Amino acid sequence: MEPDALLVLSFGGPEGPEQVMPFLRNVTRGRGIPDERLAAVAEHYLHFDGVSPINGINRALIEQIEAHTELPVYFGNRNWDPFVEDTVAAMRDNGVRRAAVFATSAWGGYSGCAQYQEDIARARAAVDGAPELVRLRQYFDHPLLIAMFADAVAAAAATLPAELRKSARLVFTAHSIPLRAKDRCGQDLYQRQVAYTSALVAAAAGYADYDQVWQSRSGPPQVPWLEPDVGEHLSALAQRGTRAVIVCPVGFVADHIEVVWDLDAELREQAEAAGIAFARASTPNAQPRFAELVLDLVGELSDGREPARVVGAQPVPGYGCGVNGAFCTPRCAP
């Protein structure tokens, strides 16, 4: 199935202080969250002059992709400019008939996969004569993703004091989700895939023992989310006498606010207060290898070749991807 364009589909982020609250209202639309609660989250963005890193990272990634393909590459977001509906309209006007869609989430589950399928369906419904949009597969076990994270763990470890490197605790973290949502797409798919990728990265980086935790939960405290929380886990490590940690944000393919604020600011400050040396592994961001991964997925689609995957100890289901807004399982449907 040969595409004639590539759409990079992402979450979106504000690019100025005046955009922060409108952006957060877009993210939470339909949930009835008052502005007073959004204002607390807005403070995280305002520490960075109201600019989320994500749009700039995506544009840099697109430049890397464009340097190695003749396909026109488009950029669309769910929650902020450039909105995916506007991008799909531009694609139609430029004569695009079928585009591969790369979502900036490696995972299955609702937030990582099904919600992007909803974005595709909504954009096509909004644009008369919209091109066919073919979602590329989930890539949580792609060899290049595993290699990028494993190299990032090694680079982070090298920043620790030499005498602490061998004893440093490796901690993988990903965005938590409410427990009521974790099996929406079947069999705790997101949770299992994160665990699977963490195991692959730990093995590639040479770690036999590690921890898997969650971060960035929100909402009322009475609603249970995936645990343990990374901050609570760090406190437990401190009580056990841990002197150094390497935190790998395996659930993020770019330095979102949840990485640069929740980890680089808040968690680092907590570690320093506890006397723990702290190192944070980088995400793929706009590395040339990430662009190579994207184009490899496009090649799988156009050439029909077998997917490139690192095989772990346990098989993980959930490789299906919908076309033109189709969903992997009935439970993922809106």
Of 45-49, 113-117, 321-325, where does the model show the most confidence? 45-49
Query: In the prediction, which pLDDT does 279 show?
Result: 98
Q: How far apart are the first and last CA of the chain?
A: 27
Name which of 302, 333, 326, 286 is nearest 8 in CA terms.
Answer: 286
Query: In the prediction, which pLDDT does 319 show?
Result: 60
Query: How many folded domains does the chain comprise?
Result: 2
| Sole residue written with tokens 């662009």 | 291
**Residue 50 near residue 18 (C-beta atoms within 8 A):** yes
Model pLDDT for residues 212-249, shown as the tens digit of each residue: 999 999 877 888 999 999 999 999 999 999 999 999 99
Give yes or no: residues 126 and 36 share one domain.
Answer: yes
Residue % of the chain over a pLDDT of 70: 93
Query: In the prediction, which pLDDT does 222 show?
Result: 87
Give yes or no: residues 16 and 108 share one domain.
Answer: yes
Give yes or no: residues 83 and 128 share one domain.
Answer: yes
Query: In the prediction, which pLDDT does 88 show?
Result: 98
Name which of 117, 141, 133, 136 is nearest 328 in CA terms.
Answer: 117
Give yes or no: residues 25 and 135 share one domain.
Answer: yes
Mean of pLDDT values over 34-53: 94
d(CA 155, CA 142): 20
d(CA 33, CA 40): 12
Give yes or no: residues 270 and 171 share one domain.
Answer: yes
Model pLDDT for residues 137-166, shown as the tens digit of each residue: 999 999 999 999 999 999 999 999 999 999
Give yes or no: residues 170 and 250 share one domain.
Answer: yes
Q: What is the CATH number of the domain that holds 205?
A: 3.40.50.1400
pTM of the predicted model, to two decimals?
A: 0.95
Among the three residues 239, 258, 280, which one is the final residue of a domain in this structure?
280
Q: Is 243 exposed, middle or buried (0-12, 13-18, 19+ CB in 10 A)?
A: middle
The answer, yes or no, to whether the previous bond of 82 is cis (omega within 30 of 0) is yes
d(CA 14, CA 242): 37
Query: In the prediction, which pLDDT does 333 show?
Result: 64
Please state the φ and ψ torsions of residue 260, each to the nearest 5 degrees: -75, -20
Q: Is 270 exposed, middle or buried (0-12, 13-18, 19+ CB in 10 A)?
A: middle
Q: How confident is the model at residue 323 (pLDDT cuts 50, 70, 90)?
A: low
Give yes or no: residues 130 and 227 share one domain.
Answer: no
Domain that holds residue 95: 5-139+287-332
Query: In the prediction, which pLDDT does 226 show?
Result: 93
Model pLDDT for residues 279-316, shown as the tens digit of each residue: 999 999 999 999 999 999 999 999 988 899 998 877 66
Mean of pLDDT values over 180-204: 86
d(CA 69, CA 178): 39
Tokens coding 153: 């763990």
